[in-house]
Structure 1
Amino acid sequence: MVLTCGNGEKMMDVKKDFPILEKEVYGKRLVYLDNAATSQKPNCVIDAISEYYRSDNSNIHRGVHYLSEVSSEKYEHARKKVSEFIGASDPAEVAFTAGTTDSINQVARSLEPSLRGNEVIVTGVEHHSNIVPWQMAGATLKVIPMDDDLNVLIDSIEISDRTKLVAISHASNVLGSVNDIKAICSIAKEHDVPVLVDAAQSIQHMPIDVRDIGCDLLAFSGHKMYASTGVGVLYTGERFRDLVPARGGGGMVDKVTIERTTYLDPPLRYEAGTPDIAGAISIGAAIDYMQRIGMDNIKRHENEVYSYARKRLLEMDDVAVYGNTNEMCGAISFNLDGIHHYDAGLIMDKMGIAVRTGHHCAQPLMRILGVEGTVRASFAMYNTKEDADMLIEGIEKVRMMYS
């Protein structure tokens, strides 16, 4: 698959950079359409992880020997890459975590005293990771209304004295709907309410600039943006520069006595214990790879493939496609009339087509849709119109078997 620049010039064949895409499944070419769950890894990311463990493996920051210094430098260089990638003012605003879920949980634990008994505003399309932590912190969730096409009705946002945070997904992991987070941040700012953006489903699809958006906090995972699993990012803007750490231990302290502990400045105060050093380095390598291709080029290509796949699905009889919002990317959810989503996914798997079935950690949205679950096809930079055609062929095979 060859990505092209805006002027039509061939840019690079990216599919060959992902070795797993050469794999056959049940004797069929692998058509990987489960990218909203996790993306595949290019050779440069795999090599960066391998090289770290082969040549540089050491703990960071606290060692004076050569390997520790090299590892520390690579880790901090990855932090700088992330900072520049999301438009942060300072690398100190970027903390490495275990993923989006961990980032949001850390914020929830840190803000729990102010959240307990108060409100957090969310949308109706949130992943459980942007619902459960706020409930565990004792907050009441207030949902922004949506129209029949599942567009979030931004003008209907109601912020009260009890509203302590707006926590919204940039893009839905189920529908692929993209929220106008800049507009939402602007409304929240008028009421002096901070905003956390869950960017797990957008960071790999489009350019993101936290200063332009105006958010106070932003969370995302490495494994959805072509890096390794078990590592993510929490951006903390100026408002939360001195957020109380949710975790304590080695590496995040200034002075410790039996009576009292003081913390280091951000971001180290949010990185207790030994971090996933190789994971952080892998995020840096993934950013290098995406920037070499160009985020605008990635977005343009993916939108073309996504729109083609969605159009073909909508043309099919007896297929319900969910959501029809102003902007969409990444994921498409659908069901076949009279056929359970799980059964459909199993049959397509035997054709080498990897899709996901179930509620996708979005049970409140499933209740809005009036279904128990869906089939979800989700796309990445290496997917093509041919992959979309294979998806349609798979659906036709499912329908034929149930006819």
Structure 2
Amino acid sequence: MTDFRDDFPILEKKVYGKRLVYLDNAATTQKPDCVIDTISDFYRTENSNIHRGVHYLSELSSEKYEQARKKVSDFIGARDPGEVTFTSGTTDSINQVALSLAPFLKGNEVLVSGMEHHSNIVPWQLAGAKVKAIQLDDDCNLLMDSIDITDKTKLVAISHASNVLGCVNKIKEITEIAKDYDVPVLVDAAQSIQHLSLDVKDIGCDFLAVSGHKMYAATGIGMLYTSDRFSDLIPARGGGGMIDKVSFEESTYLEPPLRYEAGTPHIAGAISVGAAIDYLQNIGMSNIKKHEHDVYSYAKDRLLEMDGVDVYGNTDEMCGSISFNLAGIHHYDVGLILDKMGVAVRTGHHCAQPLMEILGIGGTVRASFALYNTREDVDQLIEGIKKVEMMYN
């Protein structure tokens, strides 16, 4: 597969005189020239607020914003662009669902997995729900037999792929189980949207939350798919742009998706998502998956063959992230030293403290991959780890 590093100008940067190896993609991906240019062009030549204006720039901005919505809809297999709401990110998407469903959730249960990001735990607690986790086996597979849906279970909220381990969960199977109990399903796809082809109709989920910055677009923009089953939810945000009529006595709202997009949205961010989707589709998601699988498997094999390195998670399908620790060396120290060698990784609990408790550790070193990473990047990571071990032994 072609080396796509040249499409990402920041990867030309030297870090402490070393070639930059960026392996923190689960936190945020770098941006290709086409996305950067799209954002710049918008502010230089098109900038205007959307939907409310009758002048040329407003109509142009509105058209590009809605074109981006259509691209997202097609990319995830939605039935209609009206099922896609722009938010500020995956966290905001999940919080909006939690706020809208709060009367329904309060005093009841939300079923999650044992590997969830805090963003798929805390919002449900704030909504007044009890969070219950599906158990994991020693390899961090979800124990499907432990799924316990009761009359108190009002939502299943599950990550497609772990931001810590890279484990890909069987979300279609989980959705089918939930359907047997008529329980809606939210999928957190923040860590899979950039790696795997998604089809919400095939998955059968009711909600799907993603972030633009995880898929090569701008920060501060996210998307929430809401099936037509929940098209009449009470909006979580109120203000301009989402109302039909307002009086001091009561207000009525527009039809989706505008009813869920109060105020001025991140217009440039939404348009950048459209540019990022064009970029991904020009390469082909199947080609991306094949390339990333090669780099990911190579990295995992190299780490597993090293003495004194513990690698966490081993499910049938994995993508994106690999977490590991070096025996006797704190993960934070490993990250600091790797940084001096030009290798950017993430250390800590990765906003997954319950998972760390299950694993019996305080944190990990996480290397996470994108389409521009190569085997050469992995080799530089491994050499860095060897130097860390030499410094401590």
Letter in 2 for 1:23: K
When residues 313 and 13 of structure 1 are mapped into structure 2, their CA distance, relative to the original with a 3 A threshold, is closer
Matched, 1:262 2:252: yes
Picking from 215, 237, 243, the partner of 1:253 is: 243
How far 1:15 moved relative to its partner? 1.2
Picking from 343, 347, 367, the partner of 1:377 is: 367
Counterparts of 1:234 and 1:154, CA distance in 2: 26
Picking from 107, 116, 130, the partner of 2:106 is: 116
Superposed CA offset, 1:215-247 (max 9, x none): 000000000000000000000001111111000
Superposed CA offset, 1:173-227 (max 9, x none): 0000000100000000111000000000000001000000000000000000000
How far 1:142 moved relative to its partner? 1.2
Matched, 1:311 2:301: yes
Counterparts of 1:298 and 1:154, CA distance in 2: 29
DSSP-derived class of the 1:223 partner: helix
How far 1:384 moved relative to its partner? 0.4
Matched, 1:393 2:383: yes
Superposed CA offset, 1:134-172 (max 9, x none): 000010111111111110012321110010000000000
Letter in 1 for 2:292: E
Counterparts of 2:3 and 2:366, CA distance in 1: 26
Matched, 1:348 2:374: no
Matched, 1:338 2:338: no
Partner of 1:174: 164
After superposition, residues 63-212 of structure 1 pair within 5 angstroms as: 63-212=53-202
Counterparts of 1:391 and 1:242, CA distance in 2: 49
DSSP-derived class of the 2:215 partner: coil
Partner of 1:363: 353
Picking from 283, 288, 303, the partner of 1:298 is: 288
Letter in 1 for 2:313: G
Counterparts of 2:368 and 2:24, CA distance in 1: 5
Partner of 1:236: 226
After superposition, residues 25-64 of structure 1 pair within 5 angstroms as: 25-64=15-54
Counterparts of 1:13 and 1:188, CA distance in 2: 42
Letter in 1 for 2:383: E
**Deviation above 2 Å: which 4+ runs of structure 1?**
none
Unaligned ranges ≥5, structure 2: none
Counterparts of 1:253 and 1:389, CA distance in 2: 55
Counterparts of 1:375 and 1:384, CA distance in 2: 19
Matched, 1:276 2:266: yes
How far 1:269 moved relative to its partner? 0.6
Letter in 1 for 2:29: S
TM-score when scaled to structure 2? 0.99
DSSP-derived class of the 2:148 partner: coil
Counterparts of 1:146 and 1:29, CA distance in 2: 38
Letter in 1 for 2:168: V
CA RMSD in angstroms comes to 0.6
The aligned length equals 393
Partner of 1:6: none
How far 1:378 moved relative to its partner? 0.2
Counterparts of 1:158 and 1:335, CA distance in 2: 33
Counterparts of 1:324 and 1:258, CA distance in 2: 57
Counterparts of 2:51 and 2:78, CA distance in 1: 23
Partner of 1:219: 209
Counterparts of 1:72 and 1:315, CA distance in 2: 53
Partner of 1:7: none
Counterparts of 1:396 and 1:367, CA distance in 2: 28
Counterparts of 2:144 and 2:223, CA distance in 1: 27
DSSP-derived class of the 1:55 partner: helix
Counterparts of 1:77 and 1:146, CA distance in 2: 41
Counterparts of 2:130 and 2:147, CA distance in 1: 15
Partner of 1:324: 314
How far 1:13 moved relative to its partner? 3.7
DSSP-derived class of the 2:365 partner: strand
Letter in 2 for 1:177: C
Percent identity for Structure 1 against Structure 2:
76
Letter in 1 for 2:126: M
